[in-house]
Chains A and B, each alone.
Chain A
Amino acid sequence: MQTQHQVLKRGGLYWDRDLVPREVFDERFRAVQSALAASGDDAWLIYGDAQGYGDVAFVSHFLPRLRSVLILVVKDAPPTLLANVGLRDIPASKTLTWFEDLRPFSRLPQEAVKLVRERGLEKAKLGLVGTRQALPIAEWDAIGSALPGVTWNTRDEAFRKLRMQKDAAELAAIARAAEAAQTGLQTAAHVLRVGTTVRRASALVDKAMRLCAAEDIRILIASGPQCGIALRPPDDRRLEAGDAVMLFIAVEVQRHWAETAQTYVLGTPSPELRAIASKAAGAVDAMQNGLRPHTAVTLLAGAAEKALGDPALLQSARSYGFGHGIGLDQEEPPPIERTSFETVAASTAFALHVVVHRDGLGAASGRTVAVRGNGAEALTQASVLIELPDNTNGEV
């Protein structure tokens, strides 16, 4: 789901080599080299930034915490990574990746062109990965005009195929992120109390996940009358008795994301709230129950829509989407939608979510699931509706 990008990934930033071992990257790099050879290109340039770094991290484990990165992969040679950091940042940056050739840049076009020329690729066929989605047009124009002899090919689809099936390390890292997300949900149940502000409660949820070594955290929340409108970043609204609270969490650990969502109520829920919370949770269950390797994605969306039924609920749920792949990017293909022609990969992960609004009420349900073998395993657990005390005497 769309969340609010932060000015900096400021949580624990390091390489957990037990979770994502060095050998994983040997295998991935060999796969990239094979795909490069099969493409007929001489080299690939892989671009990423703090907002979308999945392709870069897949091959390097490097994380651009605020700016951009460009990787050059050449046949039968070690890769080079250009990072938008200062020279003084290189020692710390090198601890995040297995790449040995790591170079700083302040202006990407100059350094990218210099690197291409250094490798004798001025008249080569170069594949581009990630540039259409993220590389600023001003930088691309400068690179393209400085290298008129290069033949450029877009290789997003070829690279996507490499990432479609997740290896054991990636699924393990997603599970670790899911544990942090679960911690966030559990903390919320202890800190969402009458009299506290949404911002203060969110701060404690955020802290609990940072203590799980989260690199980045995104929280969207709605409380009281906001539940009839939309999720939003935390604000200063003070919680009142009887409030419903819709909480959506996305958390990144070791470059991998997990998402979850849960509805709470401070007091006893009305039958109407209970009904729509049940609908939302049921729609997520329906998607998970249908989630198997090779299943058509459109069927998942169809299952969620059938479970929701009500037109008003359907309209709001479609606006947020029913979910998507998840892993090194918070939102990976395929999006779960009726118009999809894609099928579920044999080994992958999905974020499933259903967010609905009706008649001034709202409910959110979501979980991250791993698809393995013949089915889907939930990595986060959410209840239909969690009832919390409606007085201020609870544990805050």
Chain B
Amino acid sequence: MIDLKEGVDLTADLRGRLERVQAEMRRQNVGGLVVYYRGQHNMLRMDQVFYLTDFRSLGQTVLLVPREGPARLIVTPAWDVERAREAAGVSDVRGVEPNDLVRTVVESARELPGPLALSGFEIMPVGTAAKFADALNAALPDGGKIIPSVAATRTPAELERIGHASAIADEGFRVLCETARVGMREYELAAEVEAAMQAAGAEDNFGLIAAGNHNVAIRPPSERRLEAGDVIIGEITPMYRGYLAQLCRTFILGEPTAVQKEKYDMLIAALQRGSAVAKPGIPSADIARAVNEVIGGAGYAEYCRQPYMRTRGHSLGLGAVVPNDLNEDTGPILETNMTMVIHPNQYLPETGYMMLGDTVVIEADGPRALTRSPIRLFWKSE
């Protein structure tokens, strides 16, 4: 069983996050920030309410942040309010029914110092936005970048949780290798992996497991039964207390061919080259360039683009969004304590789609892998 004891002072960690956000608000001359979250959790999107409260909502939620002093959390549905009060990041919590959310938020927002800004335009539904506009009698400016601008790197509490999520991902892949067998349906294999990770502490999972003798891309598990020789690709992404880690690996149900081994070795070299450049002060785009140099250099330059691959890695929401996708054309400068998955996942005409990737944290000397599954092609003969 994975030991998931937490050793960091979460309350102090959350207080530090709020203080950094409030300093940024003062710098941008924002008196009060209204942070809207719809409750539609997404691996590639930051949950800004969660980041400041440690509360992962059921329904629509709004956090009201003054430029100094404590924040107020308004949650729906009302019956979930006690769970929100248990969260370490906020003490002023109110529960309301969904129909009362806008009215309650607008009344509370009047207590905030001005000028106000709103975060959440990119997720707020048309109908909710219309209610806010009517109630406020004004359109608020977009404050959606204030919190992400001070949340590019992970705090000690966040790193600890991402480490736990990584250990759970390793456990999930171990169970995949152990339980995969000919005749099993893809969704049955996914269920085994899911259950093992939930039992180990996972509360959610961006999990994709697919199989075939020539995969085009990763996809959700279907009703297809596993066959001898199948290449099983897994994007295993458990969440532990709001933080995701991702492990990408490839498993063959039978003996791999020489070509499969050779091409997978190329992906390993690409991962190693990409990891070697992932240091503080370096553009994140350099990771993608390094990966593509290896794969392109092996004669697959034309495959280093969609639809043969999507990206060479990415950050993982809910609490983290920087550096976003790892592509050659754009990206921030890497900083110590940024976390991301680096994955040279690739379609190749000889093998189909194969996957390899690890969650890493950027440290002074380079990236430290948080997922620990061996970096190799896995297989078993029945």
Contacts and interface: CB of A to CB of B under 8 A. Distances in A.
Interface of A: 2-14, 16, 49-51, 65-67, 86-89, 91-92, 95, 131-138, 140, 199-200, 202-204, 206-207, 210-211, 213, 229-234, 236, 316, 319-320
B123 A136 contact: yes
Contacts of A133: 125, 127
A9 B204 CA distance: 10
B167 to A, nearest CB: 15
Nearest to B4: A236
A132 B125 contact: yes
A348 to B, nearest CB: 23
A203 B199 contact: yes
B204 to A, nearest CB: 5
Contact of B217 (A14, A16, A89, A229): A89
Contacts of A207: 191-192, 194-195, 198
B201 A199 contact: yes
What 5 A-B pairs have minimum CB-CB distances, sorted nearest first?
A12-B187, A203-B198, A88-B307, A210-B191, A207-B195
Given A2-B77, A13-B220, A319-B77, A8 B199 contact: no
Interface string B70-89: 00000011111111000000
A120 B318 CA distance: 40
A4 B56 contact: yes
Contacts of B38: 51
B185 interface: yes
A199 B198 contact: yes
B50 interface: no
Nearest to A8: B206
Contacts of B358: none
B340 interface: no
Contacts of A16: 223
A7 B79 contact: no
Contacts of B127: 132-133
Contact of B310 (A8, A66, A86, A199): A86
B124 interface: yes
Nearest to A9: B220
Contacts of A3: 58
B59 interface: yes
Contact of A66 (B42, B194, B307): B42
B186 interface: yes
Contacts of A87: 306-307
A379 B309 CA distance: 44
Q: How large is the interface on B (under 10, 10 to 19, 20 to 34, 35 or more residues)?
A: 35 or more
Nearest to A144: B126
Nearest to A230: B79
25 contacts: A5-B40, A6-B41, A7-B237, A7-B317, A9-B220, A10-B190, A10-B194, A10-B208, A10-B220, A11-B191, A12-B186, A86-B307, A88-B217, A88-B307, A88-B310, A200-B198, A200-B199, A202-B198, A203-B196, A206-B198, A207-B198, A210-B191, A229-B82, A231-B79, A234-B198
A4 B239 CA distance: 14
A11 B308 contact: no
Interface in B190-226: 190-192, 194-196, 198-199, 201, 203-208, 216-217, 219-223
Contact of B347 (A5, A88, A203, A204): A88
Given A13-B220, A92-B219, A206 B195 contact: yes
A136 B123 CA distance: 5
Interface string B209-249: 00000001101111100000000000001010000100000
B122 to A, nearest CB: 5
Contact of A10 (B125, B196, B206): B206
A138 B121 CA distance: 6
Contacts of A135: 125-126
Interface of B: 38-43, 56-59, 76-83, 121-130, 185-188, 190-192, 194-196, 198-199, 201, 203-208, 216-217, 219-223, 237, 239, 244, 306-308, 310, 317-318, 347
Nearest to A66: B42
Q: Which of A65, A229, A236 has the most CB of B within 10 A?
A: A229
A10 B138 CA distance: 41
Contacts of B205: 6-8, 10
A14 B190 CA distance: 14
Contacts of B318: 7
A228 to B, nearest CB: 10
A7 B82 CA distance: 24
A99 B67 CA distance: 51
A199 to B, nearest CB: 7
A231 B80 CA distance: 8
Given A87-B306, A137-B129, A204-B195, A319 B217 contact: no
B205 to A, nearest CB: 6
A210 B78 CA distance: 30
Contacts of B187: 11-13, 210-211, 213
A137 B126 contact: yes
Contacts of A233: 56, 58, 203
A11 B40 CA distance: 18
A319 B207 contact: no
Given A49-B40, A136-B122, 13 more contacts: A7-B206, A11-B221, A12-B223, A86-B310, A92-B219, A135-B126, A136-B126, A137-B121, A138-B121, A199-B201, A203-B194, A203-B196, A206-B198
Given A86-B306, A88-B217, A8 B195 contact: no
Given A88-B306, A131-B126, A207-B191, A199 B219 contact: no
A206 B125 contact: no
Contacts of B83: 230, 232
A146 to B, nearest CB: 16
B125 A320 contact: no
A232 to B, nearest CB: 5
A138 B216 CA distance: 33
A50 B123 CA distance: 13
A346 B130 CA distance: 34
Contact of A211 (B188, B207, B239, B306): B188
B191 A211 contact: yes
Contacts of B195: 203-204, 206-207, 210
Contact of B190 (A67, A95, A203, A210): A210
Contacts of B244: 7
Given A86-B306, A199-B199, A6 B204 contact: yes
Contacts of A231: 79
A3 B185 CA distance: 28
Nearest to A10: B207
B216 A51 contact: no
Contacts of A131: 126
Nearest to A207: B195
Contact of A7 (B43, B194, B223): B43
B314 to A, nearest CB: 13
A65 B41 CA distance: 12
